[in-house]
Amino acid sequence: MPAYKAPLKEINFITNELFDFDQHYQSLGLGDSVNTETREAIINEGAKFCEQVLAPLHQSGDEEGCHWSSEGVTTPKGFAAAYAEYVEGGWPSLSMPEEVGGQDLPHSLNIAVGEIMGQANHAWAMITALTSGARQTLLAHGNTFQKEHYLTKLASGEWTGTMCLTEPQCGSDLSFLKTRADDNGDGTYAITGTKIFISGGEHDFTPNIIHIVLARLPGAPEGTKGISLFLVPKLLHGADGTDGSELKRNAVSCGSLENKMGIHANPTCVMNFDGATGFLIGEANRGLNCMFTFMNSARLDTSLQGLTHSELALQGALGYALEREAGRSLRGPQSPDRPADSLMVHPDVRRMILTIKSFSEGARAFIYYVAQLSDLEKSGDELSAKLMGFLTPISKGFLTECGIEAANIGVQVFGGHGYIKEWGMEQNVRDARIATLYEGTTGVQSMDLLGRKVLIDGGQTFAAFIAIIRESYPDIDTDFLPALEMQIDQWEALTHAIMSNAAGNIDELGASSFDYLMYAGYTVLAWFWARMASVAKANSEKSDTAFYRSKVETADFYFKKILPRSQALKIQIENGSAVVMASSIDDFKDLIA
* Spatial CB neighbours of 240, under 8 Å, sequence gap ≥ 6: 184, 186, 187, 188, 277
Q: In whole angstroms, what is the distance from residue 278 CA to residue 251 CA?
A: 10
* Spatial CB neighbours of 290, under 8 Å, sequence gap ≥ 6: 137, 140, 141, 229, 281, 282
Determine whether 337 is exposed, middle or buried from the number of CB atoms within 10 Å of its CB (0-12, 13-18, 19+): exposed
State phi, psi for 586 to the nearest 5 degrees.
-60, -35
Beta strands 67-69; 252-257: pairing state:
unpaired
Q: In whole angstroms, what is the distance from residue 184 CA to residue 272 CA?
A: 19
344 by DSSP, 3-state: which? Answer: helix
* Spatial CB neighbours of 207, under 8 Å, sequence gap ≥ 6: 159, 235, 247
204 by DSSP, 3-state: which? Answer: coil
Task: State which H helix or E strand residue 280 sits in.
Answer: strand 268-281
Query: Other CB atoms closer than 10 Å to residue 31's CB: what's the count?
Result: 9
Task: Give which of 37, 42, 36, 12 is closest to 24, Cα–Cα.
Answer: 36
* Spatial CB neighbours of 158, under 8 Å, sequence gap ≥ 6: 87, 206, 208
Give the CA distances from residue 459 to residues 68, 390, 454, 504, 527, in Å, rounded to whole numbers and listed in that order: 49, 10, 5, 17, 20
Residues with catalytic annotation?
Answer: 439
* Spatial CB neighbours of 493, under 8 Å, sequence gap ≥ 6: none
Q: In whole angstroms, what is the distance from residue 579 CA to residue 101 CA?
A: 57
The residue length of the chain stands at 593
Is the distance from CB of 519 to CB of 487 less than 8 angstroms?
no
Is the distance from CB of 43 to CB of 9 less than 8 angstroms?
no
